[in-house]
Amino acid sequence: MTAVSQASARPLDQGENRRRPYGLLLVAAPVLLVAWLVIWPIVSAVGRTLFQRSDEGAIEFTLDTYLFFFSDRYSLDNLTVTLWTTGMCALLLFVICLPIALYLRFSAGRLPAYVQSLAIFPMFVPSIILSYAFIRVLGPNGMVDILLNAVGLPKIRTPYLTPWGPVIGLVWDNIPLTVLILLSGLGNVSNQAIEAARDVGARWGQVLWHIILPRIGNSILVALSFSVLGIFSSFTLPYVLGPAAPEMMGPFMQRTFRDVNDPQMAITQAVITFGFCIVFGLFYVRSVARNQGK
């Protein structure tokens, strides 16, 4: 039998353990930056809304601003319209982007390449330009009205300055990201998996329902989480295209802070908005964790 000395019997992964701090150092800078620019403002905002200075000068715990928000009809209407806009956008994005992604995934040739370019195009258009383009096309006396008038048809009721204005703009703005994420998910569904389903008797609808959608469930969740996070806290499109009242949380916060000059209430609105966003964010984190677990 060969005698093994203590030194030579050392675990092989000891060197790896020694290297670990270097890896942590590499991520230290972005982690610290996130802590400084994201985590700390959140903690600070929550603290400033929950702990306020009383008239006597003492700092005390209070829920006054939250109680006001959730008892104020105007604030609740704004929250409702934000949730409605977000939900409607998510639904429309799914309904519009899934067929586009399916077409791009299962088609070949030049036409799908052009369709993909068109689907990605909104990504390169700044929101403010999109907003004014929308007004020029669908707004009062816009291009659609002019064309309808030219052929003797009555004006359409413009979605501009109605809750549908931000919905149309936000959906258009979020199509590229949603299509790309869904397309990436569909890339994991092999042609043979689909052919195998057809081989055992599944029609196209059954293939979509039983094979494709379950396989891209994570991608749908990620795409909708990303879109919802962006839409819920969006500012430019709702500000330019949306109605004055009720308004989405982004413009509402800005108006409370600047026009009403009530920073404490604006911070409360921001914390409440963050609270809703974190729920969608947790969906995303759960999806990623589940995926990595597999």
Partner 1 sequence: MARLDIANVSKLFGSTKAVDDFSITVEDGELVCLLGPSGSGKSTLLRMIGGFEKPTYGSMTIDGEEVIHLPPEKRPTGMVFQSHALWSHMNVFKNIAFGLKLRRLPKAEIERRVEAVLELVGLSGYGQRLTHQLSGGQQQRVALARSLVLEPKILLLDEPFASLDQHLRERLREEVRDIQQRLKITTLFVTHAQDEALSVADRIVVLRDGRTEQIARPAEVYREPATPFVAGFIGQMNLVSGVVADGRFGHSAFNVPAAVADGPATLAVRPEALAIAPASGAGMAHVHRVTDYGTHAMIDVELPDGERLKSMMPTADQWTPMQKVDLVPGAFALYRDNGVIYRADAALALAKPARKTRSTVHA
Q: Which of the stretches 81-89, 163-171, 210-218, 221-229 binds partner 1 when contact is defined by CB under 8 A?
A: 210-218
Q: How many CA atoms does the CB half-sphere of 72 hold within 13 Å?
A: 13
Q: Does residue 210 interact with partner 1 by CB under 8 A?
A: yes
Q: From the CB of 207, what's the least distance to partner 1, in Å?
A: 9
Residues in contact with partner 1, shown as a per-residue x/- string from 167 to 206 under the rule CB under 8 A: -----------------------x-xx-xxxxxxxxx--x
Which of 215, 138, 206 has the alpha carbon at shortest distance from 169?
138
The residue assigned the tokens 């707004």 is: 139
Classify strands 51-53 and 59-61 as parallel, antiparallel or unpaired. antiparallel
Name the E strands within the chain: 51-53, 59-61
Q: Which of the stretches 107-115, 166-174, 211-219, 250-258 binds partner 1 when contact is defined by CB under 8 A?
A: 211-219
Cα(292)–Cα(290) distance, integer angstroms? 5
Interacting residues of 173 by C-beta distance below 8 A, sequence separation 6+: 122, 127, 130, 237
Rounded to 10 degrees, what is the CA torsion of 106, 112, 115, 119? 50
Q: From the CB of 292, what's the least distance to partner 1, in Å?
A: 14
- Tell me the two tokens of residue 285: 């984190």
User: With respect to partner 1, which residue has the nearer C-beta, 117 or 191?
Assistant: 191
Q: Which of the stretches 2-10, 55-63, 161-169, 208-216 binds partner 1 when contact is defined by CB under 8 A?
A: 208-216
Q: Does residue 108 interact with partner 1 by CB under 8 A?
A: no
Cα(242)–Cα(149) distance, integer angstroms? 25
Q: Does residue 293 interact with partner 1 by CB under 8 A?
A: no
User: With respect to partner 1, which residue has the nearer C-beta, 192 or 292?
Assistant: 192
User: With respect to partner 1, which residue has the nearer C-beta, 2 or 192?
Assistant: 192
Q: From the CB of 24, what's the least distance to partner 1, in Å?
A: 31
Q: From the CB of 285, what's the least distance to partner 1, in Å?
A: 21
Q: Does residue 211 interact with partner 1 by CB under 8 A?
A: yes
**Site size with partner 1, rule: CB under 8 A:** 19
- Tell me the two tokens of residue 222: 């990620």
Cα(253)–Cα(233) distance, integer angstroms? 10
Judged by the rule CB under 8 A, the positions of this chain that interact with partner 1 are: 190, 192-193, 195-203, 206, 210-211, 214-215, 217, 294
